Structure 1
Amino acid sequence: MHEPPSPAVPEDGQEKDNKTRPQKPDQDQDQRESVSQSHAPGQAPYQAYEDRHGPYRPHEPGYGLYQPGFSPYDDQIPEPESRLLAVQNAKAYLLTSSTTSGLNLYDHLANILTKILDEKPANAVDIIENISKDVKWAQFHKKMDTLRDEHEILPTYEAAEKRKALFLKGNGEEEEELEEETEETPLPNVMETAFYFEQAGIGLSKDESYHIFLALKNLISVQPIQICRFWGKILGLEMNYIIAEVQCQEGEEQETEEEEVTEEEDKEVGEVEDEDEETEKEDKPPESTYKPPPVIPKEENGTGTNKYVYFVCNEPGTPWVKLPPVTPAQIVCARKIKKFFTGRLDAPVVCFPPFPGNEANYLRAQIARISAGTHVSPIGFYQFPEEEEEEEEEEGGRGTYEENPDFQPLSVAELVDSLSTWVHHTQSILQQGRCVWLNPFKKSEEEEEEAEDDEEEEKEEPEAPQQEIGPPLLTPLSEDEGIQNIPAWTAQASTNLIPQHAVAILQSNRWPGAYAFASGRKFGNIYFGWGHKYSPENHTPALPVPVQAEYPSGPEITETRDPTLEEELAFKASKEEASDAAEEDGEDAEEEDEEDDD
């Protein structure tokens, strides 16, 4: 059988190829020999490995790349220069950087192969896409440098450190003592109150409520507290305020002692100033007769606006801070301004009219206003004591109440249908800034005796102001005034789908964020908001007082206009005529006297 002729190769090309082609290792030579020996009889041996289609094979990358003088369909072997140029062009293309990521394909493929050979995963061809993504993500990781990296403290770690003290038990506590204390402890059940408010979608998260529960426990263990309640949360620009309403045990009068000391110091300073004034009485300028209005004193601790003491903290776990008692001047000024809280108690309150105090005093004034307007309870839950004097009613109404043991709870439908089933159990604040009106011009017995001796002072006494009378305690909410066309309160049930287990929810429209609930014999009040009262119109700050006149204007003081020349001449002529007439009258009188003498 005739064998097909092998493809002819020019001798010149063969010689030139042998001269220029580098020598292959012995492995390639063994491979060519094995290929040539393994051909079937009657067939031409396979072409040599290097005599096929150049540097690229059908299964290799770059196959099909067209270059001048080289084509995969050509049977001739290209020249080494064209092959080298093709390789350089291909490599240059692979080294081209991306305009978006800045990476190039050549390095990316090298990194992929390195990762595959290092890790040697099973079925690498199936996860080649994921390996490519991992290699790309690794390129954008922060590179390590010679400097030591700073330890980053996560916010969750900081919060955990602050709340770590809440979960520590005190030393020496026993289970039996805890059981006895739970019966008489003033610690409120915050989680139960949060459950009822949660029925209407009101309140905080369970974690935060539990942290506040533990924070109140720590407060009670440190302070001598008789009654404690979670008042609410006021939001701030930088930090928030968590507020606890407490009633301290009897026998603590530290604040009153401090105030008495300050009054004695003020008297001593005033006496020294009087002595200095007596020594410098020579050539004094005229003094002003203006007398400032008398300062209205604050209500005593445990009464009126200072009935309760308030502790605040920014977050559960931070130390509690006791707020100072509120004064009438602070409440009166707080009604005229509207400021956002910062979260720092020592921050100044920049406003007009100027507020007498810092943010701690402003926070205390807003708490008193919100409590007086939004603390409500179902009608009949509280009652007035039977033994009360009539003088208390004449002064400003009854100021004390007690829990009614015979209280019969109202149904949810009755609490929702009518606002007359809810009453205020906190005294309202008068325009004076107090719950009980006080006459600022009323003098004590000693001052009245001194005033009897000085009659002049009695004439200058101003008229006594009219007494303010506010709504009495336990007044129904149906008597509250609305805001234009908006009612003061909105009552609704927590759910209409299951009315048997619904809770009555009351929302204040005058103080957004104030809520109350009632379910059977249980009720509660809470506040979550910015501490601002609702106003349908934009807030307009008060204008300054008009400037006082320097002197009174009248005809006696007003300067007259200058006379004209004609008026001056007429005035002189009239003056001369008057003098001439007086001289003639004098001469006539002398002549008459002489005649009488004759």
Structure 2
Amino acid sequence: MTTEQCVAFLQKKSTTNGDSVFSHLSQLIQFLVATKPDSAVDLLELSLLLKQTRFIPEEGPKVPRSWKFHAKEKFVKHHPDRKPPPLESEEQNGDEEETKEENDPAYSAENYLYDSIFFEAVGMGLGRAENYQVVLAMRQLASTKMVLKMRFFGKFFGIKSNYYVFETTSKPVPPEEAAKLPSYGVEAIPKENGIGPNAHTYWVCSRPGAEFYRLPDVTPLQIKTARQIKKFLTGDLKAEVSAFPVFPGLEENYLRAQIARISATTELAIKGFYKGGAGGGNLEKSEEYAPLGFAELKTLENWVHKNQYLNLQGRTTLYVPEKKEEEGEEGGGEEKEEKPPSPEETEVIPERLTSVDTDAELMEGWKQWSFITSSTHKNLKHQVIGLRSILWPGAFTVVTPTGFSNVYIGWGRKLRHYVPPLPPPVMKEFEGLGPERRDLPPIPKPPEPVKVEGEGEEAPPAE
């Protein structure tokens, strides 16, 4: 027998008094150490004395069954709209049904509490107590909102309060509720609905257990403007974003724009884990995927971007407005010169699931990603490995036994020095109609005499 088996055998409790050999010997040794007798070996009756003096609680008086039935009848009489307590057999069946419901919930969520162990191993995360609170908040969100899939996106630090962000795939929003969502005018470039930066719905709360708030969809103009400003979050979703250029929205829209940028840039996957996703389609787990070794995972070639890139327009697909035919063009007039293509039209966007090794360097020899491990010793057999984004401080990806996990914990700011935007171009001066004249203006003509109504004669001039 092994040591664990021996300890388990000694811990078996007696059917008479509920005691075990392990606990009895522990009390015996504790008593000898406390009293310190001269000849402890000769005190053979000490074991029997401990057994006789041990306190064993007695069972209280049992309630007669007739009293139980009387209480049930009284309950049904005073509360006819409620069902009576179930019988013992019904309770067992109910427990089985509850177990089935727990094993097969109406929503699916990542096991963040399990993944947090590996984040903690590489020195990242929120802490065990806060991780447990986040998991409870996920259950609260699933029970109160129409959520199909969910994962913890991350935590954004603010000046007055923080934001806990949860990424969900929600059920379709009814048209009545969609009309209540705030909007900020009509933009020249429309937003993408259900794909790209708006493929998921994001919920935020100031702390685990607080009320959840649904962030509105992000627009291309908000993403383009967020790229030009650097702001700290205040913690108030309805606060104004004081910046230049003027941001089209409140802090909730700015937070949503930063989430879209971070999600498109920092969410990674292991190469070969997914397949598909062309043209904005859904990703599917590859059946041919085989876990990679530690040496293979420590190369950037084996890591890919999970989400689509955002182009200069703030979209994943290029939007080309329809050309309006001007009047007079049908008459066969002269052809107008074609405008040169804009930078947005000539931009080359990398495809989905592109290796992170092809990302542009921040500086010469300075990659956007760095590896983090659970230990600096190279000869350890088991280690945890992950990646850290240098471009977006706070974005981490870690390898887990089931695949990988992404999280963001930071201030929502990009690692770029602030460059004030240039002022708008100076307006051109007014061009005169002719050459400059230096002679005096002409003398005005004398006023004409005023006629009096009803008389044929002219009125005399006023003195």
**Shorter-chain TM-score tier:** 0.5 to 0.7
Take 1:451 and 1:329, find their aligned partners in 2: how far apart are those partners? 33
Give the 3 Å change call, closer, same or farther, for CA 255–467 of structure 1 in structure 2: farther
Counterpart in 2 of 1:298?
A: 191
TM-aligned CA distance change 1:398 to 1:329, over 3 Å: closer
Match of 1:372 among 264, 267, 273: 264
Residue 407 (structure 1) aligns with: 289
**1:454/1:217 CA distance change after superposition, 3 Å:** farther
Q: 1:540 aligns with which of 419, 428, 432?
A: 419
Could you tell me how far apart the structure 2 residues matched to 1:362 and 1:539 are?
Answer: 17
Counterpart Cα distance in 1 of 2:275 and 2:218: 27
Aligned match of 1:228: 150
Asked which structure has the greater CA Rg, the reply is 1
Residue in structure 1 matching 2:369, options 484, 489, 500:
489
Higher helix fraction (1 or 2): 1
1:274-289 to structure 2, matched below 5 A, reads: none
> Deviation of residue 231 (structure 1)?
0.3
Q: Which of residues 211, 229, 232 is equivalent to 1:340?
A: 232
Shift of 1:174: 5.1
Deviation at 1:526, TM superposition (A): 0.4
Query: 1: CA distance between counterparts of 2:191 and 2:333?
Result: 30
Q: Which residue of 2 aligns with 1:570?
A: none
CA apart distance, 1:226: 1.3
1:180 to 98, 101, 108: 101
Task: Write the letter of the residue equivalent to 1:298.
Answer: K
* Aligned position for 1:145: none
Segments of 5+ residues of structure 2 without an aligned counterpart are 1-93, 441-463
Q: Which aligned pairs between 1:215-364 and structure 2 lie closer than 5 A?
A: 215-249=137-171, 251-254=172-175, 258=179, 295-300=188-193, 302-364=194-256
Corresponding residue of 1:207? 129
Of structures 1 and 2, the one with the larger relative CO (CA 8 A, separation 6+) is: 2
Identity of aligned residues (%): 40
8 Å CA contact 2:375–2:383 kept in 1: the answer is yes
Q: Aligned partners of 2:182 and 2:112: how far apart in 1?
A: 40
C-alpha contact 1:239 1:344 (8 A) present in aligned 2: yes
2:439 is aligned with 1:529: no
What residue identity is the alignment partner of 1:404? S
Instruction: Return the alpha-carbon distance in structure 1 between the equivalents of residues 122 and 391 of structure 2.
Output: 19
User: Is 1:189 the counterpart of 2:68 in the alignment?
Assistant: no
CA gap of 1:260–1:218, structure 2 versus 1, over 3 A, is closer
Paired residue type of 1:186: S
Q: Deviations over 1:495-516 (max 9, x none)?
A: 2446322111101010011000
CA distance in 1, matches of 2:407, 2:338: 46
Structure 1, residues 225-261: CA drift from partner, whole Å, max 9, x if none? 1110000001000000000000113x43538963999
What is the rounded CA distance, in whole Å, between the counterparts of 2:108 and 2:290 in structure 1? 25
SS at match of 2:370: strand
Aligned pair count reads 342
Question: Which of residues 397, 408, 411 is equivalent to 1:516?
Answer: 397
Letter in 2 for 1:210: Y
Change over 3 Å in CA distance of 1:495–1:412 after alignment to 2: same
Q: Which amino acid aligns with 1:367?
A: I
Q: Distance in 1 between matches of 2:372 and 2:382?
A: 14
After superposition, the C-alpha distances for 1:420-469 in whole angstroms (9 at most, x for unaligned) are: 000001001001110111113x25xxx66999769899969966643533
Matches of 2:289 and 2:341, distance apart in 1:
44
Letter in 1 for 2:253: N
The whole-number CA distance in structure 1 between the counterparts of 2:147 and 2:165 is 15
Tell me the SS of whatever aligns to 2:262.
Answer: helix
Matched, 1:559 2:427: no
Indicate conservation of the 8 Å contact 1:298/1:327, yes or no.
yes
Instruction: Tell me: CA distance 1:559–1:510, structure 2 relative to 1, closer, same or farther (3 Å).
Output: same
CA distance in 1, matches of 2:341, 2:165: 39
Deviations 1:256-286 (A, max 9, x none): 96399999x99xxxxxxxxxxxxxxxxxxxx
Aligned with residue 474 of structure 1, among 337, 353, 359: 353
- Aligned equivalent of 1:500: 381
2:91 equivalent in structure 1: none
Name the aligned partner's letter for residue 347 of structure 1: A
For the structure 1 residues 471 and 368, does the alpha-carbon distance in structure 2 shift closer, same or farther, using more than 3 Å as the test?
A: same
Q: TM-score, normalised by structure 1?
A: 0.53
Q: Deviations over 1:264-314 (max 9, x none)?
A: x99xxxxxxxxxxxxxxxxxxxxxxxxxxx7100111x2011011100001
